Structure 1
Amino acid sequence: MTRLPVVVGFGGFNAAGRSSGHRSYERMIFESLTSTEKNAVIRSLASLMGKAVEGLEGAALESAVLAGTLVRRIESSFFPVEAAPVSRRCRVTGSESNPIRIVLSHRDLPSPLPEGWKIISDSAGSCAIEIAHEQHFTVETAQEMAVQAAGQLPSGFNPGAHYKSTHHPRGLQLNILAASDAVHSMGIDWEVICREVSPDQIGVYSSSVMSQLDNNGFGGMLQARLRGERVSSKQLALGLNTMPADFVNAYVLGSVGVTGGVTGACATFLYNLRAGVEDIKAGRRRVVLVGSAEAPILPEVIDGYAAMSALATDADLRKLTGSQEIDYRRASRPFGENCGFTLAESGQYVVLMDDELALQMGAQIFAAVPGVYVHADGFKKSISAPGPGNYITMAKAASLAANILGVDALRHSSFVQAHGSSTPQNRVTESRIFDQVAQAFGVESWPVAAVKAYLGHSLGPASGDQMATTLGVFARGILPGIKTIDAVAADVYADRLSISRQDQNLGKEKVKIGLLNSKGFGGNNATATVFSPEVAQSLLQKRHGSAVWSAYLGKLETVKAHAAKYLQDADEGKLMPIYEFGSRMISEEEIQLNDHEIKIPGYDKAIALGGYDGFEDLAH
């Protein structure tokens, strides 16, 4: 019997706020909420934003919170986009008859002196230099950024301020908070879970696409020589794109289980989700934490994507609207007339258990993930061009849903979370894939969402943003509309798709299936099949019987109460990040090992040895 992976916890932070408790999702469907619900969302976001909204109340508070979330103009807390720091290389020509003369302090004097440099006078603290040939200097200046829109975290929210984050790159700060949010959202203490499973039945799968490129990571290391600075002992290690998983193991969970950082460009979260789902289905793991974190809103990263003509520049946005005034809120326009995507930062995690363990623990069930499919594009003319791989992943994901729940469920009770990157090429190619799959399975009006319209493109965690939104859709039945477009573009294959500028109320009782689609540079295509909690519960009752289900319900209420207490605290700004640095370390001297098991201190269950790993037929 294949074990069914179920989502028992989720959390994270993006431009719409905190994911647990569906708060970031509710920010996206804000117009569809009641006044009481709107007030709760505003208060929750205000607790994250701190001094940015300090002293405001009522309409002024709501206005500031709404303005300080979602895609918007990059704020000066990152860097001044109208005058971003940049270095210019200058050529100055000197000669024997007319040398360049400069004065340098002793501490700035290169050693040894460059060729052609001559000290002509030396006084206390400085010396005069003559340079008798052409010399290149780097001068620090400023320049307006061609791209000024991004999906930033809420204004004033600094993830590193919530724990001892010294020297941590911003992406890893976000990673700690996101993973902690997901763990707390379960309503079950992690130590309780560890008592029920063997240490090797735990897994963590997480990574980032761009590594950590700010000054505390690879960015600082790679710039150090050119800027005349020293490389620190932490920049290389903390810059690695595997660090999100490593930080979760070392500082959040204290896990000795399996670890992995799978990277698949913009499909990275789904690549890691697939690793966790397949491990649970095969019985290799019983509980896994899956996620990704990325903080790419940096001038250098923006320059890189802009050089590829991938981003929505201010100039292109002006051409698109025919106005000199730019509405940065609408920079990302999936499936409408658009001109490029918008970078964003995010950290998203889900906790998965196998169905048996979830019932045993009384865990909340937010969804089930029966399959995640990954395929490449084959031979390519351009590494960034789309290809056939996404047809395969979408068709397989739709087929799985139809086979398990029936084709009518796919036709009438499913929706699609599109990659929706907001590029002219994506709107055509991705919509054509949806159209072809819809035709194959008889879907006549397939609801489509594209959350990058609200959040921007967070690269690695982008499909994690989709997952968090999907769980919200299951909880409320409201699919966020694509409110940043004026209309669906004429070249979009929309005959069988329902792409709305307004929120679509699909009905909570009707929504059963979400298909999460992601396309990445290089042919990294992935699609996940996700079932609603109601569907998951029905499947589990059918599989495990009424007695097991009744016992589960008895435990569930206590778990829900614990989770509700955390969500209430989080809404008040008490995020309680888990960061254990140097505490509860495992003493290697206390590890007990023999030929049939390993006993790790801190875990009740031992790790069994002596298995065949499927090779029983080859045993002597």
Structure 2
Amino acid sequence: MKNLAVITGFGGINAAGRSAGHHAFRRMVLESLSPADRERTLTALAALMGTTDEQAILDGTLVREWDNVDWDAKAVPFHEPFKDADGNQCWRLTHRRLPVQSAGQMPKGFDPAKLYRSHHHPRGLQMAVFAASDALGSLGVEWETLCQHVGPDEIAVYAGSSMGQNDGYGNGGMLQSALLGKRTSSKQCAMGMSQMPADFINAYVLGNVGKTGSITAACATFLYNLQMAKNDIESGRRRIVIVGNAESPLVPEIVEGYNAMTALASEANLKKLDGKNAEEAADLRRACRPFGENCGFTIAESAQFFILTDDKLALELGLSIHGSIGDVQVNADGYKKSISNPGVGNYLTMAKVMASTRRELGDEALKNSFVHAHGSSTPQNRVTESHIYEELARAFGISDWPITAVKTFVGHSLAAASADQLMATLGTWATGLIPGIKTTDKIADDVHQQGLEFVLQDKSVDSDKMVVGFVNAKGFGGNNASAAIISPTKTRELLQARHGDSALQNWMNNNQAVAAASQAYDDAMLRGEMEPRYRFGENVLEPADLEITDTEIRIRGWDKPVIL
């Protein structure tokens, strides 16, 4: 019997706030919360943003006008070409307004660099340190304690970014240095690499000596890495896997690049969409409108991490069970008309995870499921993705299938986009709410809707009966991935069937202390006691710290050896 990959901790940061404790999710459904939950959510955001003004908190979160960057989107430096009197090619510094005036930015006022010794780290790596630390805090068990229950090589970290780190401390600074008359630093090239979030977490957060890596697959990157994590846990090769992504592409050059592809919702097109003239203000809060009349996606930054363990370890230590990973599938598109044009691969990934869900959990599981769609808010996506769901709802006999899309709140964070979706999927089981696509007033006429229910307002559901959440991702170049996420209630049922009543009762007893420790962490964060786990230069291992034989290697600080 293969192991079950259980989600035992998670954390992160995006435009909706901090993920652990479901705070970011609750920001998305704030209008539907109880007064107590609403107050706690606002308190969590206040701790991040440094303000207690409720309106400022609401205005400074989710998709909005540029407000949290170290450059002015209305006056971006630009070298305009011209020829001098002798005909020589010259350039003069001028400024221009970005065509795109909205993004999914961190909550206004939040600066991860101020929380630890960031030492000129690119923003994406700062976010990775904060997000991974948030995930560890949510565990309710000290990382060192958890590690002593497994071998050093039974841990893996899969993390990265699709675009790399492109601000001034990473690739952006390296490529701009000559034009700006600056010296390239020794850090920019290395820190700009796309796998650096994993490297940072290994070296400065976890002290991991196990497996590490990152698959880059455009907007489907997270699910590709989740598939590796799931396979590792199920096979028994790893017992703990930290999987996630950190993406911070909010620099003018990247925004201009996507805008040149006509992929982004520009200020002018938003005005045109709403019938406004050039002098009127665009509705930048509603820049992202999945499955409605829309004009492009909204670029965003996010860092999300999930801690997976095998079911035996989760039961043994009483780790909290937020859900488990059912199936993850990846398929390419085949021959394409253009690299960005959607193809057939996503039909395959969704159909396969649905079929495996029915095979493993029964037909009722499919009929008690919901979908976190890619929902990028482009005219092409709303047609092609909705057709996939309509065809599969027909094929599998599903009616009124709930479909939502959280990019409506947090924008499109590229590599981390489906991690945002998974975070929100877990939020539904914690709150009994499927978040509505609230920026979309009406489903567009060309969207396929047979057998589907596009959720436009928060929808109350029975968390115990909603068995599966499907997470779907479509990426440039034909990168398609879909995942089936099993609810906490169903996961506990599976564990009871696998291990018996006694094991589950022991887990419940042990989980009380774990849940209390997780709550204590969250309470401290709400008080503003934020100190990301960052271990620069601590407990550095040297060859002398190894005891090597022909059957095992023992490492200083680890109870269990690496078995050869």
Task: Give the TM-score range, shorter chain.
Answer: over 0.9
In structure 2, stretches of 5+ residues that fail to align are: none
Alpha-carbon distance in 1 for matches of 2:500, 2:127: 41
1:496 to partner: Cα distance: 1.2
Q: Tell me if 1:6 matches 2:6.
A: yes
Q: CA deviation at 1:78?
A: 3.4
Aligned counterpart in structure 2 of residue 345 of structure 1, from 295, 298, 301: 301
Identify the residue that residue 577 of structure 1 maps to in structure 2: 532
Match status 1:254 vs 2:207: yes
Contact 2:249 2:300 in 1 (8 A): yes
CA distance in structure 1 between the partners assigned to 2:44 and 2:476 by the alignment? 36
Tell me, yes or no, if structure 1 residue 378 matches structure 2 residue 334. yes
CA distance in 1, matches of 2:522, 2:68: 31
SS state at 1:271 partner: helix
Describe how 1:120-519 pairs up with structure 2 within 5 A: 134-323=87-276, 324-411=280-367, 413-519=368-474
Measure the CA separation in 2 of the matches of 1:201 and 1:383. Answer: 38
Q: Encode CA deviations 1:182-204: one digit per residue, 9 max, x unaligned.
A: 01100011111111100110000
8 Å CA contact 1:474–1:512 kept in 2: the answer is no
Counterpart of 1:46 in structure 2 is: 46
Counterpart-to-counterpart distance in 1, 2:359 and 2:430: 24
% identical aligned pairs: 49
Secondary structure at the counterpart of residue 501 of structure 1: coil
Letter in 2 for 1:298: V
CA contact (8 A) 1:18 1:24 kept: yes
Q: Which amino acid aligns with 2:348?
A: I
Alignment correspondent of 1:618: none
In structure 2, give the amino acid aligned to 1:73.
E
Q: Figure out how many residues of one structure are paired with residues of the other and give that number.
A: 561
Aligned equivalent of 1:79, options 68, 71, 79: 71
Deviation at 1:76, TM superposition (A): 6.0
5+ long unaligned stretches in structure 1: 95-133, 610-620
Shift of 1:135: 2.6
Give 1:229 deviation, angstroms.
1.4
1:73–1:328 Cα contact (<8 Å) kept: yes
Give the C-alpha shift of residue 509 in structure 1. 2.3
Aligned equivalents of 1:178, 1:399: Cα separation in 2: 33
Residue 163 of structure 2 aligns with an amino acid whose one-letter code is: M
How far did 1:591 drift? 0.3
* CA–CA separation in structure 2 for the residues paired with 1:552 and 1:509: 19
Kindly report the root-mean-square deviation, in angstroms, between the aligned alpha carbons of the 2 structures: 1.0
Find the residue that maps to 1:266 and give its secondary structure. Answer: helix
The separation in 2 between residues aligned to 1:450 and 1:549, in whole angstroms, is 34
1:103 counterpart residue number: none
User: Secondary structure in 1 aligned to 2:376?
Assistant: coil
CA contact (8 A) 2:271 2:283 kept: no
Query: Normalising by structure 2, what TM-score?
Result: 0.98
For 2:119, give the aligned amino acid: T
2:18 corresponds to 1:62: no
Cα pair 2:299 2:413 within 8 Å, conserved: yes
Return structure 1 stretches of 4+ with deviation > 3 angstroms. Answer: none
Q: d(CA) in 2 for partners of 1:525 and 1:437?
A: 16
Counterparts of 2:499 and 2:195, CA distance in 1: 38
* 1:140 positional shift: 1.8
Contact 2:159/2:197 (8 A) holds in 1: yes
1:42 offset after TM fit, Å? 1.0
Question: Is the 1:476–1:507 Cα contact (8 Å) retained in structure 2?
Answer: no
Letter in 1 for 2:328: V
Q: How does 1:92-131 map to 2 (within 5 A)?
A: 92-94=84-86
**Bigger CA drift: 432-441 or 70-79?**
70-79
Offset of residue 219 of structure 1:
0.4
- TM normalised by structure 1 equals 0.89
